[in-house]
């Protein structure tokens, strides 16, 4: 029986392959389960460019829920392999690690909190505004 990591990886590769085919690339999969490249893309309609892709399924750490950071290996850097990330739930393909949603949620909450503070402090004078309007230059 296949290990769940391999199943996730295979699913991510297939989603990425489907995505690149929809963009018009000729897509070729690596025959072995190991190696620096998962997909080889050929732009047959254009200049015949060859793009090497390593596909990673987005993963969260079970300990704290943070995204697992992925970086190219030395060999992948030498070969100019591009890392692509696949969200298995939404089937979205990213060419860079997506931003952590928690940061945006925290930022949104802080903006709401700041607006609430401004509303609650109607009788507080902004000193900069006061100085501009009441003090001669």
Share the mean pLDDT of the chain.
76
In this predicted model, what pLDDT tens digit does every residue of 51-84 receive, in sequence order? 999 998 887 766 766 667 778 889 989 999 999 9
Share of the chain above pLDDT 70, in %: 61
Work out whether strand 50-57 and strand 82-87 pair parallel, antiparallel, or are unpaired: parallel
Per-residue b or e along 55-91, where b marks 16 or more CB atoms closer than 10 Å to that residue's CB? bbbbbeeeeeeebeeeeeeeebeeeebbbbbbeeeee
């Amino acid at each position: 029986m296949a290990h769940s990591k391999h199943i996730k990886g295979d699913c991510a590769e297939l989603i990425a392959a489907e995505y690149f085919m929809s963009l018009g690339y000729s897509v070729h999969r690596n025959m072995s389960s190991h190696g620096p490249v998962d997909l080889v893309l050929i732009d047959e309609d254009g200049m015949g460019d060859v793009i090497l892709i390593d596909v990673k399924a987005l993963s969260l750490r079970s300990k704290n829920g943070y995204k697992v950071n992925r970086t190219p290996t030395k060999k992948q850097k030498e070969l100019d392999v591009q890392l692509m990330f696949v969200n298995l739930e939404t089937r979205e393909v990213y060419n860079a690690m997506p931003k952590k949603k928690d940061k945006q949620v925290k930022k949104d909450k802080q903006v709401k909190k700041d607006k609430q503070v401004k509303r609650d402090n109607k009788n507080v004078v902004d000193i900069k505004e006061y100085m501009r309007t009441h003090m001669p230059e």
